[in-house]
């Protein structure tokens, strides 16, 4: 796995009857690719994946892979708090022809120790031949995978090729990047920022790019910003960051993907449907989002 840059953690559109809106999802994928996004992530946090059945998740992955048709890499999410279940999800996703890599997050609710996380991730990585990206998101899972544990995992499992670091802790991200860089056995392992608002800071200390929420709404702009940073065009990267920073923050005014789906609804990209326990943004947040949409002049989708 040698891709870098900006990848989109895609939302999952739903129809009013709560089934997956395959047409809207296919159009989102086409728009993302046409906008220059570097890779796509299916069934991550932003996809409301905990509300999908195992069969639905595989259907989403198959659809995204089919529409992408090899034009960009597709990373498939396969997270569970029970290691056996996570292994089954990983194997099923890996069986889908066209999946480039797997993304698996910390076990949630259990709050395992560092040794527990090591054994969990090791078991998943050893169960498949595909490249594996570890997704560290302690704010959602209640467990933080520390840099020393991640380096140990990379040494133990050659197919662990990257980490999506969503701790929000720039010091920890920096320590992880330095730890990989300084260890010749795992120096090729990449770190991707998992938080839009600190992506430039992470790239400045060596991150390979960003797995983004905001690129659901502004894929071309996020791709350009991350590409500029990776190519040392910091004037351009900072200018784009300053323009879009309010949106990067707004997507988390309430629990994601509530706000980002609201924006996509207003842009005419998806229906206004969430699956419980996710709900639309509150009236106050929705009004603030609408004002921001107008201020940023976010474009509506072209009618087909």
Return the active site residues. 135, 164
Distance separating alpha carbons of residues 168 and 173, to the nearest angstrom: 8
Q: What are residue 135's DSSP bridge partners?
A: 105, 164
Show Cβ contacts of residue 125 under 8 Å, excluding neighbours closer than 6 positions.
132, 153, 157, 159, 160
Distance separating alpha carbons of residues 266 and 263, to the nearest angstrom: 5
Retrieve residue 22's tokens: 């395959």
Q: Do residues 190 and 182 make contact, with C-beta atoms less than 8 angstroms apart?
A: no
Distance separating alpha carbons of residues 204 and 132, to the nearest angstrom: 24
Distance separating alpha carbons of residues 185 and 175, to the nearest angstrom: 17
Nearest to 171 by CA among 201, 128, 214, 141: 201
Show Cβ contacts of residue 242 under 8 Å, excluding neighbours closer than 6 positions.
none
Distance separating alpha carbons of residues 99 and 128, to the nearest angstrom: 12
Distance separating alpha carbons of residues 245 and 262, to the nearest angstrom: 18
Q: Do residues 226 and 220 make contact, with C-beta atoms less than 8 angstroms apart?
A: no
Retrieve residue 295's tokens: 């201020």
Retrieve residue 98's tokens: 């066209």
Q: Do residues 246 and 252 make contact, with C-beta atoms less than 8 angstroms apart?
A: no
């Amino acid at each position: 796995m040698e891709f870098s840059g900006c990848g989109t953690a895609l939302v999952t559109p739903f129809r009013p009857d709560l089934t997956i809106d395959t047409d809207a999802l296919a159009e989102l994928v086409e728009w993302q690719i046409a906008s220059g996004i570097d890779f796509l992530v299916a069934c991550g946090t932003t996809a409301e994946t905990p509300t999908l059945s195992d069969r639905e998740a595989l259907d989403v992955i198959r659809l995204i892979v089919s529409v992408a048709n090899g034009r960009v890499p597709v990373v498939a999410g396969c997270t569970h708090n029970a290691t056996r279940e996570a292994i089954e999800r990983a194997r099923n996703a890996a069986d889908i022809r066209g999946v480039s890599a797997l993304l698996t997050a910390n076990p949630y609710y259990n709050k395992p120790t560092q040794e527990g996380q090591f054994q969990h991730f090791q078991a998943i990585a050893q169960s498949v031949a595909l490249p594996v990206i570890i997704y560290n998101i302690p704010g959602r899972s209640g467990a933080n995978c520390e840099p020393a544990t991640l380096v140990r995992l990379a040494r133990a499992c050659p197919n662990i090729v990257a980490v999506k670091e969503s701790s929000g802790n720039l010091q920890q991200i920096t320590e992880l990047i330095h730890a990989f860089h300084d260890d010749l056995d795992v120096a090729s392992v990449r770190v991707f920022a998992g938080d839009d608002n600190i992506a430039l800071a992470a790239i400045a200390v060596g991150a390979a790019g960003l797995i983004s929420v905001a690129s659901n709404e502004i894929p071309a702009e996020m791709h350009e910003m991350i590409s500029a940073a990776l190519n040392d065009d910091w004037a351009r990267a900072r200018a784009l960051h300053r323009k879009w920073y309010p949106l990067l923050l707004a997507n988390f005014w309430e629990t994601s993907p509530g706000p980002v789906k609201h924006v996509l609804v207003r842009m005419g990209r998806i229906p206004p449907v969430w699956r419980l326990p996710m709900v639309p943004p509150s009236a106050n947040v929705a009004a603030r989002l609408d004002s921001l949409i107008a201020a940023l002049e976010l474009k509506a989708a072209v009618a087909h």
